[in-house]
Structures are given as C-alpha cells and as structure tokens.
Structure 1
C-alpha cells in the first residue's frame, strides 16, 4: 500500500512541480480536518499561513504551532496530523528524491 500523501490524502495534497530531483507539494486544510497516515522523504517545509497542528507518530503525538513564513528541514517520516487550531493550514513541501550514481556523474562531469 502506498503512503504517498498525494494518493492517501488527495483533498489536502497537490503536486505543484516535479522533476527527477524534487517534488513540490502544496498542502491545505481547515480547522478540525485530519489526514490519514502517510510518509514524506527528507523535505524542506515553508509555511504560507500560521497554524496549529497535532502530529501523530504511532501512539505518540506532539503539538506544533508555526507562524507564516517559517522554513525548516524535515527528516523523512511517517505520520498523520490534524488541524487543532482556528486557522487553515497552507504549506509547501519540497521533497528530495534520491540521486542515483549516473545522475551524480552528470552533475559533476556535465552531460556527455
């Protein structure tokens, strides 16, 4: 079963850009809405709105409150979340894709 958030939660996640190195997702929700379990690779997150969320990993959870304009690193993870605040969530995720050896050679040596 795929835990790709675009497939598990298409009402919240939209692909806004993708190439062989990155995928950019836009995430939106409203107060009281939840996601189902999904996973993200290593990513950079940029908040477009201020929000409060509860993130669940297994039986544990933590509450996160972020301002609009915050940017941060997120290590690969599996979780589900819920908007426990009074404002909608609006976020961009830049998901990093693994680089294969042939691509590394092209990056350092240039195309043939």
Structure 2
C-alpha cells in the first residue's frame, strides 16, 4: 500500500497544536498548520509507517507543541497506517523532551 492524498493532521504533545493539512504523494509529505511548514519523507507498508519531517516556522520562533521556541527542527516518527489514516509517534527535537503523536485522517484523494 502506498498512502497518498490530502490528510487533516492533529497533534498531541506538551501543548495542543493547531490542526493542519498535509499532502502525501510518492513517498513525500508536505503541508502546514498555519504556523509551521512541513516537508519530508513518508513510507508505509504492512500497516506500519515511518516519516522524517523537517519543520520550519513561517515567521520567527513561535512556541511549539513541545513548549519551546524554535524556528526549525526535524522529527523522526514511526507508527501505523491504513488506506485512510495514520498515527505517528516520536521524540521531540531536543533529547529528553516530551514526545509527539500525529494523527492523520484522509480528507481527499490527490485528484479530487
């Protein structure tokens, strides 16, 4: 299975995050929550998934869901996926920091 489409994403971490939208296509993931931009790789198979996502603020160094002010960081995430959703988990960008859970629900195919 190669997951693809537009996904609404929600975050669980030290602080609640704004929901966002990402596009998963051909092993790439890109999107935004209005505060940060996301760009990285996404792979899935046999119900498992993995992503490496670069996160960059749109403006300045805003407060992140990790309760820190950062303008850019990278997340390594692993989890589960089916054809319409995924749940990814990983550590924060700073060692020892609270982790993050990102839940995605498909909202549209790529060619809607």
TM-score scaled by length of structure 1: 0.32
Task: Answer 1 or 2: which has greater helix percent.
Answer: 1
Give 1 or 2: higher strand fraction: 2
